[in-house]
Amino acid sequence: MSLYVSNTLSGEREPFEPDDPENVLVYTCGLTVSDDSHLGHARLWVQSDVMVRWLSHLGYGVRHVQNFTDVNEKIVARTGEGDLGDTEQAVARHYVESVIEDMRDLNLDRAEVYPRVSEHIPEIIEIVETLVEKGYAYEAGGSVYFDVTEFEDYGKLSGQDVEEIESQGAESDRAEKRHPADFALWKAGAVDPGDANEHRSDDLPPLEEPAGQTWASPWGEGRPGWHVECSAMSTTHLDDSIDVHVGGQDLVFPHHENEIAQSEAASGDQFATYWLHVRLLETAGEKMSSSLGNYFTTKNAVEEFGPNVVRMFLVSTSYTQRQTYSEATISEAQERWERVERAYERATDAADSVDAYAKVEDDDLRAAVVDAREAFTSSMNDDFNARGAVSALLELASAVHRYVDEVEAYDYRGLVDAIETFEDLGGGVLGFQFGAADGGDATLAGDLVELVLNIREEERAAGNYERADELRDRLEALGVTVEDTDDGSTYRL
Ligand SMILES: [Zn+2]
């Protein structure tokens, strides 16, 4: 059975037939780096990571590119806040670093590249020039706008009728635009302080001067519009035509509609064959306790629940459906991960025990492995249904628990098949990490280090510097690096 995917462009479930199976091109719309990531972003990343991993598992050669939007008024709005720095670049660098940390914590496979807008200004200018030359875009007051009435297929992704779009972009652009639905490809000058202040914290003095980076262009100093960046980066790092474009459901209109218009008008080729949109993550509203609300950033969630539970949670609803974040859904993920992990550990212990034999064969155990692989495969081929895939692993976990409970002489080969199934499918495809210090263990280790650091602090306060140094040396010997700063001690494992 082959893979079927839900394509927003056609509105249908379609068989997946890439141009070149050796070279499947996938672009994921990444994050605007103006804040720490939250679980909604993490859901998009984990779902697209699982898609890419499944395509690789099926034998496709996959090239995956995911961008960072590091030029944006929301980034400018945070300049001067805390230790973020006074420039758009400094704030963006801070959050690119933070987001990469979150991605590594979530055990995402590395993309081929993570291009940033600020390093692709020449490519952006080139595509805008092409659009002007071909008559799809026009200059007005040092800005350049895409003329939606010139692109016949405008609206084909989102189903929008051009004449019904009342406006796009900033209201202040209206006077320059020919049609209310036209959108900016290039904006003259720096960020208007009013636009940045809309996103600025009330605790900060409002910006009074135009702010943010500008670049020289054929139309004067200015900044790229938002949508054109993805057309430029996708073309630069992949091709004019790609197989799969992934993004959040909230980006269908206008962002992805505009990417199609720009790319296809410029190149004359179809931009992306399959448009896969990950539905949003919702919180359970007021019913959610405030303590759970604290774990809505990726960092806090990973620290509290561990990466495996967070991943289990994020794959537990199909990408084509909205997901709810609540105490109940998180604890379901916790319980599911523990069942799978425990089964993996018990299978490993049994296979590595003196009671595992070469000539013992258990038909039920072996059948459970075959069934789990089949159920996992058919779920994933059914539009990357990761929830179904997890159910297949849970079935296998139950079979392993039953088997180890009931039997005294173990089927070595059967157990190893089960272990490899957990590792290949749960690890390789769903991205779980078996046998890693995680969740409870990782939290406990962190708490114990904090405890030792507190004792060390007390020793120092009491003038017992030798004792304090000894505690630091013993932590270092265990692989814990302690750094003393003005605000106290920090550590790295
Ligand atoms: Zn994009």
Give φ, ψ of 410 to 5 degrees.
Answer: -90, 150
Q: What pLDDT was estimated at residue 346?
A: 97
Q: Is 450 annotated as a binding residue?
A: no
Q: What is the CATH architecture of 13-278?
A: 3-Layer(aba) Sandwich (3.40)
Q: Is 199 annotated as a binding residue?
A: no
Query: Ligand 1 centroid to 256 CA: how many Å?
Result: 7
How far are the Cα atoms of 286, 302, 306 from residue 294, in angstroms, in the given order?
14, 12, 15
Query: Ligand 1 centroid to 29 CA: how many Å?
Result: 4
Per-domain residue ranges of the chain: 13-278, 286-427, 440-492
Contacts of 248 (CB under 8 A, 6+ apart): 29, 40, 44, 277, 278, 280
Q: Is 290 annotated as a binding residue?
A: yes
Q: What pLDDT was estimated at residue 487?
A: 66
Q: What pLDDT was estimated at residue 450?
A: 83
H or E element: which one contains 327? helix 327-351
Query: Ligand 1 centroid to 245 CA: how many Å?
Result: 9
What whole-number distance in Å separates Cα of residue 271 and Cα of residue 264? Answer: 6
Q: What pLDDT was estimated at residue 169?
A: 84
Query: Ligand 1 centroid to 255 CA: how many Å?
Result: 6
* Encoded amino acid at 353, one letter: S
Query: Ligand 1 centroid to 68 CA: how many Å?
Result: 9
Query: Ligand 1 centroid to 96 CA: how many Å?
Result: 16
DSSP state string for 395-431? HHHHHHHHHHHH-SSEEHHHHHHHHHHIIIIIIIIT-
Query: Ligand 1 centroid to 304 CA: how many Å?
Result: 31
The answer to whether the pTM exceeds 0.75 is yes
- Could you tell me the fold of the domain covering 286-427? Isoleucyl-tRNA Synthetase; Domain 1 (1.10.730)
Q: Is 241 annotated as a binding residue?
A: no
Tens of pLDDT along 341-375?
999 999 999 999 999 999 999 999 999 999 999 99
Q: Is 259 annotated as a binding residue?
A: yes
What whole-number distance in Å separates Cα of residue 250 and Cα of residue 281? Answer: 11
Taking each helix axis from N to C end, the angle separating 121-133 and 228-237, rounded to the nearest 10 degrees, works out to 110
Query: Ligand 1 centroid to 243 CA: how many Å?
Result: 15
**Strand pairing category for 488-492 and 481-485:** antiparallel
Query: Ligand 1 centroid to 199 CA: how many Å?
Result: 20
Query: Ligand 1 centroid to 333 CA: how many Å?
Result: 30
Query: Ligand 1 centroid to 266 CA: how many Å?
Result: 17
| 13-278 matches 286-427 in fold | no
Residue 345 burial by Cβ neighbours in a 10 Å radius (0-12, 13-18, 19+): middle
Selection from 342, 464, 467 nearest residue 397 by Cα: 342
Q: What pLDDT was estimated at residue 491?
A: 78
**pLDDT tens track of the chain, all 493 residues?**
699 999 999 999 999 999 999 999 999 999 999 999 999 999 999 999 999 999 999 999 999 999 999 999 999 999 999 999 999 999 999 999 999 999 999 999 999 999 999 999 999 999 999 999 999 999 999 999 999 999 999 999 999 998 888 888 888 888 999 999 999 999 999 999 999 999 999 999 999 999 999 999 999 999 999 999 999 999 999 999 999 999 999 999 999 999 999 999 999 999 999 999 999 998 876 555 667 777 889 999 999 999 999 999 999 999 999 999 998 999 999 999 999 999 999 999 999 999 999 999 999 999 999 999 999 999 999 999 999 999 999 999 999 999 999 999 999 999 999 999 999 999 999 999 998 754 455 567 777 888 888 899 889 889 999 998 899 898 888 888 888 876 677 777 7
